[in-house]
Structure 1
Amino acid sequence: MTVASLKKVTLFGDATARTETMVFLQELGCMHLVPLAPLPDAPEHVQSRDAKDAYTALRFLAEVGTPRRQVQRDPGFDMTRFVAEVLDLSHRMREMRDRRDFLVHRIRAVRPWGDLEFPPHEDLAGNRLWFYRLPVKHRKALEQVALPWSILGTDHRFLYVVLIALDEPDDDVLPVARTHTGALPIKQLEEQLEDTEIALEALEAERLASTRYLDLMRKNLSEAETKAELAHAEQKVLEEDHLFAVQGWVLSDRIEAVLAGAKSRKLAATIEEPRVDELPPTLLEQPDSRSAGVDLAMFYQVPSARGWDPTVMLTLSFAIFFAMIVADAGYGLVILAGLGLGWKGLGNTAARRSWRRLGLGIALGTVAYGVLVGSYFGVSPDQTSVWGKLQILDLNDFGAMMLLSIVIGVLHLVIANALAARAAWGTRHAIANLGWIASLLGGLFLWRASVAEQATAVPVAVLGAGLATIFVFSSDRPIQKPTDWLWRMLDGAQGVSGAMGAFGDVLSYMRLFALGLASASLAITFNDLAFGVMQALEGPGMLFGLLILLVGHALNFGLALMSGVVHGLRLNYIEFYKWGLPDEGVAFRPLTRKELQE
């Protein structure tokens, strides 16, 4: 349940064994490749690791509303050939649609001039016909035209005029631009349109017939993705003088398997530990039951391989923050009911079961916190009842809720610094993290002591010691000449200046109190409005009141869910990651085969 340990492996061998080696590494599925060769200069020659053509062809066929009966077995089905045929069909259909649209537009543009029959070019003594759609209000402009002209048609808005000239008239000959009608009469254009539509129908029929292979395409997508992944990986292999080299990061416990394969293929191999200036990719080793936490941890920022695994801490704090923002046991029960309805569907895979467990934890946490604050769809229980006695927090007690939010914020950042110090132990930065822990706790105790008008000497001393530690240990700059001491002092001053940022980050946790209060207040408001309508109107008041309750709580529930997710994750991704995981890494993505789809 930590960041996986990786080593860099380089394989060398004869170029004739290159393809076999890459296929072996893909079958093994444990090497994150490092590019040794530059990518092609032309972007169109860069191979994608995704089977874009296969997905494009699949989407093209899947858009057909009523596909044909599916073929489940076809020994001669070739995914690569079929994808190429479908893409060619898509290209031909696109061209045919463009041709049809062009003809429709040209016919619409030519029709006002009538069914024109253009005379041979020599009959016009080298002259050409130039067509204009002239607004009726500019009729007098024709009288100033020196060229021969004629009005071929009119309607209530335009005059359809033709000019005769050797060359195209000047742009200012008429107050409108000329119209492009082409050299074909409407009759021929309509014949071409009919032929185009017939051809398009034939292509649509071909597309419909191809939809019978949709299921086979979906089953063979994994093979297309595997080939695309391999083609992308081969671009990273260096080949010179009949030799090749491939390099990548491998899990420490899979090194022996790679070396065994290299030995059987007569390849040379080197194994290296990560250098100080080298950052391996990040792989969070967690059981399948926690894959949802891994997804959350990698969603916003990939933790550095030299950092630590935030999965458990992230899921726990997210569930707590979500519960505090929703702040209603009734809404927690609604989440629990929705989860129950989809419980079976979320149990198909290990990943879905992990998300189901996370959802269950969030729902139960929301119910528990709602009981603690005594809110059930905005209704507070009788203090003499069992549920009333379980209420130990009052959302309307601003002082207590503000204190709770700030304490949670300080503890969250303290934990972040403690975990960061543990990951960096043995370096100056780890000591600086301990200084931040002392500063955060000292600032909290100083605030509470000043509010209670108690002695502040001890909190001030803790705060001062923390800031001094930060000043001394924030820089890891080596001392090689006297001026380096000055740079260390500047780095320390910059580190201490982060105290204002820490103060702002702690205050960010006030949103837990503010959003929870807003959710509870809206629920109470909708309840009061509904009950007021019920009392004011006899008969229909009951119906209107129920509608207000239903719509109001649905709206508030949606807002609470959105706030809980967005702000619950924000406090982790922004504030917590800033202090605990300041460095970003690259996700471990090995060369591997794609799993066959059932």
Structure 2
Amino acid sequence: MSIVALKSLVLIGFSEQKEAVYEALQELGCLHLVSLDSASGGVSNVALGDATIEAWQLLKRWHIDGTRPASVGQLSLMEVQERALELEQRMERLNDELELVEARIKEVEPWGDFEFSSLESMGGLSLWFYLIPHHRVSELSDLDWVWQEVGKDHRHCYVVVIARDEPLGFESERQHLGKDSLSTLRGRKAEVEDALSHAQIEGAELARELPRFVEHIMQLQDVGERSRAVQMGYEGAGMFAVKAWVPGEKVETVQEVADGYQLARVVEDVRDDEQPPTLFENPASTQVGESLISFYMTPSYRLWDPSFVVLYSFTLFFAMIMSDAGYGVVMAVLLGVFWKRIESANVKHLCLLLTISTLVWGVLVGSYFGIEPDGGSLFGMLHVLDMQDMDGMMALSIVIGAVHIMLANAIDAWRLRRSAAAWAPLGWIVVLFNALMIYLGGSHEGLKTAGGVGIVTGLVMIVIFTGAGQGHGVMKQLGTGAMALTKLSEAFGNVLSYLRLFALGVASAALAGAFNDLASQANASVKGLGFLLAIVILLVGHTLNFILAIMSGFIHGLRLNLIEFFNWSVGEEGYAFRAFKKKNKPTN
């Protein structure tokens, strides 16, 4: 749970070694290259052609797990790509035709199976097809037509009229059935379905080439990556140079490669005027915390890794917002159903943490789909927090908020521990702690007096030490400290933001209870269908509440970490360490 210490590395060698050296460095996969050419723009994935990406996605879709890969050399990779694209076009045409034929069958089926004869054989007469509402069929007897009713449904009669020209004088919905009979359409449907089945088998067979095709894409990306890396370096006078950031623990490994190619090298510590990339080092259990913070920002290299704190505080906040063990059971069931389909180990770990925390917190607050357990039961004895105790739950939320903000300042103080500036975040801790004591103490005069003295002490610490270590004079340092006091209202505002944990949790429980009451009333008041109506209300209501709670848990749980918490400890943004390495999978 830390940010990896980096070293600055420069490698210099002869131009004829350049390609081999870059390939060896890419194989090593631990360097973040720095551009020595301002026009190069940095390392990025080579953009694969649209046709290649589409073919890869098709092969993935058609691939069947456990299928034996194709023998090497049966098809060229270009042939695989072309066949995949052609097969997809063929399947699209067949699917379109199948939809059209099925629609035609649906139109023709009510009229029966018949063949159209030629006009000559019918003496110039034609068949005209009409949908006529039931209440108007009797009007046909008043008309001089030859007609026959061939079918009916709940709204219309299907009437066929035999006439030389289109009959006039009767408003009705005429049908255009086309020239193909029902037997012909059904035969064509069978042919199209058979062709689709063969195409799907062909796709599954072609998908056996997927491993080779993926390897081919990775090779293309690796070549493109090396090409861009070469552009970032410097070359002239028969020599080339590479500059990069490298983790300190990997320096010896890089030196071994450099010795193998007899490269000159310079390894230096990070200078104060340099801003290296940020590389996190976390155990597998907390790596998902990196994902939670990286989509918002990457902390600066000289800050700290908040992955651990963010992961577990977010887990707690999510559970407090859900506040229902029944919903936790639903999450557990959904996680069990989709477990094998979730490819990312980090996502699995996060979902498991959120599910467990929701179950535990839901048991503690005693809510099971909005129903409170009986006090004498096991679950009733585990019910130790009362969601109906507004004052108590508000106080708990404020305590959690104050502790969270104080933790941010404590970490900041530890980071600055070798500087007098560390006393400033300690001052904020003193202010928040004493303000919390005054709030929790209520009318206790002793706590009010001690808390007031503590707040003043903390404010003095903030004024004196906020500008320390910046090389300013005493007056300018005090001025910087005085300006820092403008964050006082922000500090208390940030703490009060944690009341959303209480508010959203209560809202979720209240909605669940409201839907339960509605279902109970429906069951009691509507005879016969009351029970079914109650079931519908419960399903729709709790599904809606569950979705809203999930959304609120993610949005507000992350917001309290990434805005309120980061505001006090992770203010400076950096950029991520991007290793120059071979690809594990194709990306577009």
State TM-score, norm by structure 1: 0.72
CA contact (8 A) 2:25 2:581 kept: yes
Aligned counterparts, 1:280-299, within 5 A: 280-299=276-295
2:59–2:206 contact (8 Å) kept in structure 1: no
Q: 1:476 and 1:245, CA in 2 relative to 1: closer, same or farther beyond 3 A?
A: farther
Partner SS for 1:301: coil
Q: For the residues of structure 2 that align with 1:56 and 1:39, how far apart are their CA atoms? A: 29
Offset of residue 453 of structure 1: 5.2
In the alignment, which of 293, 301, 304 is matched to residue 305 of structure 1? 301
Q: Does 1:32 align with 2:32?
A: yes
Unpaired segments ≥5 residues, structure 1: 41-45, 94-204
Query: Partner residue of 1:75?
Result: 73
Q: Is the 8 A contact 1:49 1:225 kept in 2?
A: no
Which amino acid in structure 2 is aligned with residue 537 of structure 1? V
Mapped to 2, the partners of 1:512 and 1:362 lie a distance apart of 15
Q: 1:234 aligns with which of 230, 233, 241?
A: 230
Cross-structure match for 1:112: none
After superposition, the C-alpha distances for 1:383-422 in whole angstroms (9 at most, x for unaligned) are: 2333223222222221111100000000011111111221
Shift in CA distance, 47/425, structure 1 to aligned 2, threshold 3 Å: closer
Question: In structure 1, what residue type is equivalent to 2:528?
Answer: G
Return the alpha-carbon distance in structure 1 between the equivalents of residues 42 and 400 of structure 2.
49
Distance, in Å, in 2 between the alignment partners of 1:437 and 1:277 is 31
1:2-401 alignment, distance < 5 Å: 2-39=2-39, 49-54=44-49, 56-59=51-54, 62=57, 72-75=70-73, 212=206, 215=210, 216-346=212-342, 351-352=344-345, 354-401=346-393
- Compute the displacement of 1:20 (Å): 1.6
Secondary structure of 1:53 counterpart:
coil
Q: Which amino acid aligns with 1:405?
A: S
1:29: Cα distance to partner?
0.6
Distance 2:470 2:312 in 1: 39
Decide whether aligned partners of structure 1 residues 2 and 479 sit closer, same or farther in structure 2, where only a CA change above 3 A counts. Answer: closer
The 3-state SS of whatever aligns with 2:304 is coil
- How far the C-alpha of 1:84 sits from its partner, in A, is 10
For residues 477 and 418 of structure 1, do their structure 2 counterparts lie closer, same or farther at Cα, with a shift above 3 Å needed? Answer: closer
Could you tell me which residue of structure 2 aligns to residue 496 of structure 1?
485
Question: 1:492 offset after TM fit, Å?
Answer: 1.1
Q: Is the 8 A contact 1:326 1:564 kept in 2?
A: yes
Please give the alpha-carbon distance, in whole angstroms, between the structure 2 residues aligned to 1:438 and 1:455.
14
Shift of 1:77: 6.4
Distance 1:432 1:451, change over 3 A: same
Q: In structure 2, what is the Cα distance between the partners aligned to 1:313 and 1:25?
A: 34
Change (3 A) 1:312 1:48: closer
Alignment correspondent of 2:550: 561
TM-score (norm 2): 0.73
Equivalent residue number for residue 460 of structure 2: 468
Deviations 1:271-307 (A, max 9, x none): 1101112222111111233322222232321122222
Listed as ranges, the gaps of 5+ residues in structure 2 are 90-198
Q: Could you tell me how far 1:490 is from its partner in structure 2?
A: 2.5
Work out whether residues 33 and 246 of structure 1, in 8 Å CA contact, stay in contact via their aligned partners in 2: yes
Question: Which residue type is aligned with residue 380 of structure 2?
Answer: G
The CA distance in 2 between the partners of 1:242 and 1:374, in whole Å, is 75
Q: Is the 8 A contact 1:321 1:512 kept in 2?
A: yes
Q: Is 1:422 matched with 2:411?
A: no
Q: How far is the alpha carbon of 1:454 from its aligned partner?
A: 4.9
Q: Indicate how the Cα distance of structure 1 residues 587 and 516 shifts in structure 2: closer, same or farther if over 3 A, else same.
A: same
- Cα separation, partners in 2 of 1:471 and 1:55, compared to 1, 3 Å: farther
Q: Do the aligned partners of residues 25 and 404 (structure 1) sit closer, same or farther apart at CA in structure 2, a change above 3 Å counting?
A: same
* Alpha-carbon contact 2:428-2:462 (below 8 Å) kept: yes
> Is the Cα–Cα contact under 8 Å of residues 437 and 447 in structure 2 kept in the other structure?
no
Paired position in structure 2 for 1:507 = 496
Paired residues in the alignment total 468
Percentage of matched positions with identical amino acids: 37
DSSP-derived class of the 2:12 partner: strand
